[in-house]
Amino acid sequence: KNEVEQSPQNLTAQEGEFITINCSYSVGISALHWLQQHPGGGIVSLFMLSSGKKKHGRLIATINIQEKHSSLHITASHPRDSAVYICALPMNYGGSQGNLIFGKGTKLSVKP
């Protein structure tokens, strides 16, 4: 069983739709990252959260430590949101953050 499971693997949406991407994990963690990767390959860190909820523009990330589940929401989706979204967890509980395990990613395509 993978330690980090993302769903869905692929997602196609119409511009303006509300989008939810889920991440479930089986290990104890101190924080969780949501990353965005565009076709060119570069990765942008969207959120790092250890509890509750964070919001940045149209993006909202939530985490429930007890249920070992996190969600990334995109409100009023736009074609420029098309990318691969990846959740990542530090492997060492309470330890360094560079040592990450990654979900397989959710490929999002937003159609105009």
Partner 1 sequence: KAGVTQTPRYLIKTRGQQVTLSCSPISGHRSVSWYQQTPGQGLQFLFEYFSETQRNKGNFPGRFSGRQFSNSRSEMNVSTLELGDSALYLCASAVSVGVESPLHFGNGTRLTVT
CA nearest neighbour of 106 among 9, 37, 4, 2: 9
Which one of 20, 22, 24, 48 is in contact with partner 1 (CB under 8 A)?
Answer: 48
String of b and e for 33-60 (b: at least 16 CB within 10 Å)?
Answer: bbbbeeeeeeeeebbebeeeebeeeebb
Residue 60 contacts partner 1 per CB under 8 A: no
Residue 97 contacts partner 1 per CB under 8 A: yes
Q: Kindly tell me which of 42 and 112 has the beta carbon lying closer to partner 1.
A: 42
Q: Which stretch binds partner 1 (CB under 8 A): 13-21, 41-49, 59-67, 68-76?
A: 41-49
CA nearest neighbour of 106 among 84, 88, 82, 81: 84
Residue 101 contacts partner 1 per CB under 8 A: yes
Binding site for partner 1 (CB under 8 A): 30-31, 33, 35, 40-45, 48, 50, 86, 88, 90-92, 94-105
